[in-house]
């Protein structure tokens, strides 16, 4: 026979959730409300967490940017969208990106180069752009064959650029990465 579990307080549940991963203030508040904790208890728990510095949107934003950029290889736009969806204020996001890009929070003091990240990711995923496609254009016999070869070049370029755009890199970064690859 199972023992009936007692329901944790909103504060204890918050600690349990924060032990697994970081949360933004709004995101944690919504998670607790979704678990049907009373709004007053949730507000009290959030205030305690903020007071004890267990919950902080600035450090959450910085760490999320850092992990998404370095581990997940996401671009700036995708990370910004994720942070906005989690309820992090625009000013906090901007400040966290500045800290990350300038390396002010990093132990090594290295800056982050989004363009280089896009180029490296493209090369790792697809390798160098195949010169055989251009050779097909040069060796084409007739107009239709040449058009087919040009279409295949366009298709390959589109595939690579769209890959980077889905990862959150800008149009300019994707095009420049394709040129460099």
Task: Sort 11 into a burial class: Cβ within 10 Å, 0-12 / 13-18 / 19+.
Answer: buried
**Of 3 and 70, more confident:** 70
Mean pLDDT within 26-45? 95
Q: Give the pLDDT confidence of 84-108 residue by residue, as tens digits.
A: 999 999 999 999 999 998 876 655 5
State whether 132 and 176 are in the same domain: yes
Domain count, the chain: 2
Reported pTM: 0.83
Residue 122 lies in a domain: yes
Confidence (pLDDT) at 106: 57
Residue 153 lies in a domain: yes
State whether 92 and 70 are in the same domain: yes
State whether 69 and 89 are in the same domain: yes
Residue 150 lies in a domain: yes
Distance CA 135, CA 146 (A): 10
Q: Which bin fits 23, alpha (ψ -120 to 50), beta or left (φ > 0)? A: beta
């Amino acid at each position: 026979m199972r023992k009936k579990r007692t329901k944790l307080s909103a504060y204890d549940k918050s600690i349990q959730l924060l032990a697994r991963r970081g949360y933004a203030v709004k995101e944690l508040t919504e998670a607790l409300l979704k678990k049907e904790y009373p709004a007053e208890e949730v507000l009290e728990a959030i205030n305690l967490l903020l007071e004890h510095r267990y919950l902080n949107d600035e450090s959450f934003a910085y760490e999320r940017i850092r992990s998404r950029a370095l581990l997940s290889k996401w671009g700036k736009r995708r990370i910004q969208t994720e942070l906005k969806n989690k309820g992090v204020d625009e000013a906090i996001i901007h400040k966290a990106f500045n800290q990350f890009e300038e390396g002010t929070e990093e132990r090594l003091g290295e800056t982050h180069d989004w363009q280089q990240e896009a180029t490296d990711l493209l090369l790792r995923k697809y390798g160098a752009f195949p010169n055989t496609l251009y050779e097909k254009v040069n060796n084409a016999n007739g107009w239709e064959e040449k058009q087919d070869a040009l279409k295949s070049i366009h298709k390959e370029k589109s595939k690579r650029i769209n890959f980077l755009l889905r990862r959150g890199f800008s149009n300019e970064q994707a095009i420049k990465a394709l040129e460099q690859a």
